[in-house]
């Protein structure tokens, strides 16, 4: 039923003929092994009457099924797409060559070449490569379960695929930002957010660039420093998600798409109580529900950069508050890695390994 042959250009062609298909199905691969593996999978699917929709649709429609169409259907119909994956797909949408790839051209060779292009052409860090590959792989998995495609070549990539090889050009490694907030900087941030005129005069900035929602910004700063919540997680929180009695904030959908119960310190409880919760709607006034979240996040990040500049910490980013809060959990508590991960929402405990050095003295105390 399958014919495997090498073409003059060196590629390998797989031709599948079956009475269950409207016409012969052709696919091209970089190696003979890829072609034979594909043929084995497809022949098994046809024999079990599990013919992928793409084989039928591409035979009866003038519009071939592409990676772009798979992503569009996945985003529209799947209820399990995380916020992070949606952001990745928005980035990938700016790369038309990827979206135009036909589904019948997907193979391990294609996956290898795509990863190479992310390194050699776009010069992405390994972490960014893993995010893009992971998001697209989850999309392919979803279509694989629905028998729209018959294989997911991204799951065949070797371990360490995102690391740079000698032939990929200058090496790139993941940039693990470890900017801490010094005690003096924290004091200056609070003076800016409290509109301390003496301080602002001392730096020649008597007038704050914008004074709107200053009270909300003070709470945002405090919550970030006390809970390690992400910026988007906080400005999308509704007041009814805050439970002062149980000292928690319930996040129903986080960056990773998971639910999370965030415990609150007494400092955070005090800040929330002073802010006031005797109303309905969102906790913060920064988002009305209609504006795209990415746009809101960018706007708030720019505003925080202005605040950081006034606090004489121009290189400090809002996300650094999450790093600072996580560091303090390690320095000030005896919580385990797993317990801290439940608070911060880190899905991979490996992400917390860089904080382990903060407890070096604790480990030394346990030795004889």
CB 2 within 8 A of CB 14: yes
pLDDT tens per residue, the chain (368 residues)?
A: 788 988 888 888 888 888 888 778 887 777 788 788 778 777 777 877 777 666 665 544 445 678 988 888 888 777 778 777 887 888 887 777 888 888 888 889 999 999 999 999 999 999 889 999 999 999 999 988 887 888 899 999 999 999 998 888 888 877 677 889 999 999 999 999 998 889 988 988 766 545 678 999 999 999 999 999 999 999 999 999 999 999 999 998 776 667 899 999 999 999 999 999 988 999 999 998 778 887 888 899 999 999 999 999 999 999 999 999 999 999 888 898 899 999 998 877 777 877 777 766 665 666 76
Q: Where would I find the H helices in the chain?
A: 32-47, 53-60, 67-77, 83-92, 96-99, 108-120, 126-145, 183-193, 197-202, 214-227, 231-235, 266-275, 293-310, 319-332, 337-344, 360-365
CB 54 within 8 A of CB 226: no
Q: Cα 157 to the chain's mean position, in Å?
A: 20
Beta-carbon contacts of residue 122 (< 8 Å; ≥ 6 apart): none
Q: How far apart are CA 122 and CA 111, in angstroms?
A: 15
Count other Cβ atoms within 10 Å, centred on residue 162. 22
The pLDDT of residue 139: 92
Q: How far apart are CA 39 and CA 245, in angstroms?
A: 61
- Which one, of 40, 31, 51, 26, lies nearest residue 111 by Cα? 31
- The token pair that represents 120 in the structure block: 């050699």
- The token pair that represents 328 in the structure block: 């303090």
* pTM score over 0.85: no
Phi–psi pair at 211, nearest 5 degrees: -110, 5
> What per-residue string of b and e applies to 69-94 under the rule 16 or more CB within 10 Å gives b?
bbbebbeeeeeebbbebebbbeebee
Q: How far apart are CA 317 and CA 307, in angstroms?
A: 10
């Amino acid at each position: 039923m399958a014919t495997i042959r090498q073409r003059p250009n060196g590629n390998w062609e797989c031709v599948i003929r079956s009475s269950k298909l409207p016409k012969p199905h052709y696919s091209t691969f970089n190696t003979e092994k890829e072609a034979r593996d594909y043929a084995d999978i497809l022949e098994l699917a046809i024999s079990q009457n599990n013919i992928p929709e793409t084989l039928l649709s591409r035979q009866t429609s003038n519009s071939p099924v592409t990676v772009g169409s798979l992503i569009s259907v996945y985003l529209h119909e799947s209820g399990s797409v995380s916020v992070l994956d949606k952001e990745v797909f928005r980035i990938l949408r700016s790369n038309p060559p990827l979206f135009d790839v036909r589904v019948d051209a997907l193979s391990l060779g294609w996956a290898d070449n795509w990863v190479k292009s992310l390194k050699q052409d776009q010069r992405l860090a390994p972490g960014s490569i893993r995010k893009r590959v992971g998001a697209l792989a989850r999309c392919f998995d979803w279509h694989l379960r629905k028998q729209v495609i018959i294989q997911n070549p991204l799951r065949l990539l070797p371990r360490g695929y995102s690391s740079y090889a000698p032939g990929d050009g200058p090496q790139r490694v993941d940039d693990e930002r470890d900017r801490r907030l010094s005690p003096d900087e924290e004091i200056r941030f609070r003076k800016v957010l409290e509109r301390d005129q003496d301080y602002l005069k001392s730096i020649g900035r008597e007038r704050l660039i914008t004074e709107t929602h200053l009270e909300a910004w003070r709470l945002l700063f405090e919550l970030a420093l006390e809970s390690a919540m992400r910026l988007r997680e906080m400005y999308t929180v509704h007041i009814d998600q805050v439970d002062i009695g149980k000292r928690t904030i319930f996040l129903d959908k986080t960056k990773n798409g998971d639910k999370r119960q965030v415990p609150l310190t007494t400092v955070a409880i005090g800040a929330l109580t002073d802010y006031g919760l005797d109303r309905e709607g969102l906790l913060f006034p920064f988002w009305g529900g209609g504006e795209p979240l990415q746009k809101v996040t960018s706007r708030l990040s720019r505003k925080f950069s202005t605040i950081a500049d006034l606090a004489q910490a121009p290189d400090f980013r809002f996300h650094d508050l999450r790093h600072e809060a996580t560091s303090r959990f390690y320095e000030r508590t005896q919580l385990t890695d797993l317990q801290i991960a439940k608070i911060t929402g880190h899905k991979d405990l490996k992400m917390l390994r860089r904080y382990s050095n903060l407890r070096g003295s604790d480990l030394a105390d346990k030795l004889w």
